Structure 1
Amino acid sequence: MTDDPDGRDEGSREGDKRDDEVRGARRIPGPRAAADDFDLDRFAPPPKAADDFDPDRFTPPPKAVPVTQEHDAGPPASKLPHRVLKALLGAWALTACSAAETDAVEAHLTECAPCADEALRLRDAVGLLHTDRSLDLDPMLRSRVLENCLSRRPAKIPVPEWASPYDAETARLDALLRDIGDSEWHAPVRLKWFEGERGVNRKTTVAGVIGHLMTVDGLVSTALGLDDPLAESVPDAPRRGSGLPMAPTHRTETYWSAARRPPTRTVREPWRDQSHTLIRTVSFAGRGVSDLSVSYGDFALPLQDALLDRAFECWVHAGDIAEAVDYPYEPPSAAHLHRMIDLAARLLPAALAERRRAGLAGPARHLVTAGSPGRSLHLEVEGSGGGNWYIALDSPAALGSPDHTVAQVALDGVEFCQLVAGHVPPVEAAAGQRGDRDAIRDVLFAAASLSRL
């Protein structure tokens, strides 16, 4: 055996070579010990000496934060990254940021032009949200949408033109009723009208007003051969022809007094169904139905005028309801308002004659003959739905003529309708007056006398 220069023999070298081959070979690991079997302290790195201190890897302990009642305001304004500040612009425009966030955003806006432009646009958009205008839908929106749809595709059975005001006003009132809450159906409403020489009023609720409209609309239903809602809601009431009160005031008083409990929002559906039934019936009935007589107890109207009268009262009482529940409500369209004013102007001579018989108006001053129709008053209605009418002063059968005008009265269209509804005192109604003062007074009071419960 030859000696190695390092003192090792050849056998030892061969043994080391075999050991290197074994160490380089792949081994199958033994079974893994349980976690509890490990001595974690055995694997911890040895502590470094003071000379081995690495300042780059040193983490100082957190500083003590004093405990206060307020929440942490967040990172300082200067430390917020750009993406966070940009995300806060919307909240900043709505003034929804905290004080620290507001300072951070405003400091950033002085340095970043793109964010400053975006903040300006957001502030302008927020300004649009704080408008003085009402956010409620225009009450005429439904009518305009239906008109546009029907102009593109006409209905097979169109609503008669003379019934369209009633259709529009009941639809507008129904939209108002759909928007109010349950409690608002019991909101107090004061109905006003004019009797003799003075205004009177009656207190009810929103539901009571709808019951009133339903029972008076029943006069039109009865004329068309439909069911009378008064007979259905008041089973003990006498039938027509056997003493059933036909005047609108009597019908309403009967309905209100017979109700065991105050009306609630449940009255909306029968009123709504009744108005739809009336519109369908007159639409299918044909042209001749427009002249059918509708009795109001002490007077009668052709069906087309009766539905116009019901449209007028629907609008007036919808305004009463809207005022009670603080809801915006607009007048009818100009075309419908003009027809309502025309109906009142045509009824004025008869109302004036009725007041004259009751001793509430001055006597006729001229004999009406074929050659002399008598005196006239020029009624000039301005604004939406306005026009010119000549009211016969001496006979309800005479036609007013511009050639025999003794007085002139000028009013706004809505104001004239409020006068006819008994909501405006006659002495305060006319904006402009000229001519015979007695004739003017008689006509204004006659206009107010057209009102009723």
Structure 2
Amino acid sequence: MSTDHEGVRDLLGAWAVGALTPADQKTVPLHLAECESCAAEAERLRETVRLLGGAPRPPLANGALAGIDGVLTVALRARPAAPRVASHAAPYAAAVAGLQALLRELDGHGPWGAPVVHDWDVHATVAHLIAADEPLARRLGLAARVPESPVAEGTGWADAWAARTAAVIAYEQRRTPEETVAAWTAQAAALLATPEARDPERAAHATTLMGVRLPVADHFVVRAFEAWIHTDDIGRALGLAVPPPPDPHLWQLVRLAVRILGMALGPTAPPVLFAVTGGEPDAQWVLGSEDEPVRAELALDPVDFCLLVGGRYAPDEVPRGAAGDDAAIRDVLERAASLAWL
């Protein structure tokens, strides 16, 4: 491995979680001893990994995936939120820790080429998360982990996003899965080390990312949503049960999704009394017009609702309780499903 600054920076995430190759274990410390900026970032990453409970685990004997399902479930359920991040960043911290726990089971023997979602395998899905986290990372002053890719002036956010994620995946597929995981880990840790992840006041200012204007605090919740969805995608592809986020975090995802759904429906949609069942007694909202009587009632499980908004359920397939105007109910379900870009 080269000891140049950029080469070492890409390995700092692996260094923080103790996942360097034997060769890199010799060269990275030499660079850190000489480079003050890399050494400072390395310490920040290691502290963040410690707070996330991300100490590396030994590889499984015989390189087998068999039998890890129960172990993985326990590890994911036990994943902690970093105590030094604010509540708005805690779901993202926990989602990052959960995906790290899953990916550690694949080190050295994992089926990185297994199809996951869209036309992505496991490797490409992790690369996609680098691109997905990048807009918030760049807005908070962090450097890009992948070389810039040109986008024509005037390109809409959706087309620009599609082009960037394709470029990031193409770049990362020329590298090893371990290098891609290290780059994603480092970027996630750097996001969680920003002042905005720790200070609610700094995270209160609004910014437009992925076509939606929200407070930075809410953009952290969006990042948690996507990290969990893709962890679940990878788990399903490998036949492993991935539990949902811890209840407090799950309800943060639900409440934000309801707010965005309400904005998408607008004030003239037929009013529907929407309830998310299980957990919070006041988890119901009137979506749509406030000037008409409610036309229908719709109830969804919180995980099913999140999977619908994440594009993992079709509107006519999601389990639900419903009564009243079928067209109004269909409008809510179809609008919720349309929010997905994952």
Alignment partners' CA distance in 2, 1:282 and 1:404: 45
Q: Once the 2 structures are TM-superposed, how far is the Cα of residue 320 of structure 1 from its aligned partner? A: 0.7
Q: Once the 2 structures are TM-superposed, how far is the Cα of residue 436 of structure 1 from its aligned partner? A: 1.5
1:267 aligns with 2:180: yes
Amino acid at match of 2:120: T
The match for 1:168 is 94
- Does structure 2 retain, via aligned residues, the 8 Å contact 1:293–1:300? yes
- Does structure 2 retain, via aligned residues, the 8 Å contact 1:409–1:433? yes
Pairs within 5 Å for 1:49-448: 134-136=70-72, 137-143=74-80, 158-191=84-117, 202-229=118-145, 233-235=146-148, 237-238=149-150, 246-247=157-158, 248-258=161-171, 261=174, 264-282=177-195, 286-353=199-266, 364=268, 376-384=271-279, 387-394=282-289, 404-448=293-337
SS at match of 1:380: strand
- Does structure 1 retain, via aligned residues, the 8 Å contact 2:196–2:216? no
SS at match of 2:79: helix
Change beyond 3 A, Cα 1:385–1:423: farther
Change beyond 3 A, Cα 1:325–1:284: closer
Change beyond 3 A, Cα 1:285–1:323: closer
Change beyond 3 A, Cα 1:259–1:266: closer
- Does structure 2 retain, via aligned residues, the 8 Å contact 1:295–1:301? yes
Identity of aligned residues (%): 29
Structure 1: runs of 5+ lacking an equivalent? 1-130, 151-157, 192-201, 354-362, 366-374, 395-399
Structure 2: runs of 5+ lacking an equivalent? 1-66
- CA-to-aligned-CA distance 1:333-381 (integer Å, 9 cap, x gap): 111111101111101133235xxxxxxxxx947xxxxxxxxx5311111
TM-score after normalising by structure 2: 0.70
SS at match of 2:89: helix
Q: Once the 2 structures are TM-superposed, how far is the Cα of residue 285 of structure 1 from its aligned partner? A: 6.3
Alignment partners' CA distance in 1, 2:155 and 2:127: 17
Change beyond 3 A, Cα 1:190–1:385: farther
SS at match of 1:134: helix
- Does structure 2 retain, via aligned residues, the 8 Å contact 1:380–1:389? yes
Superposition RMSD in Å: 3.0
- Does structure 2 retain, via aligned residues, the 8 Å contact 1:351–1:449? no
Q: Once the 2 structures are TM-superposed, how far is the Cα of residue 244 of structure 1 from its aligned partner? A: 8.1
SS at match of 1:408: strand
Highest Rg: 1 or 2?
A: 1
Question: What number of residue pairs does the alignment pair up?
Answer: 272
- Does structure 1 retain, via aligned residues, the 8 Å contact 2:310–2:340? yes
- Does structure 2 retain, via aligned residues, the 8 Å contact 1:208–1:256? yes
Amino acid at match of 1:142: R
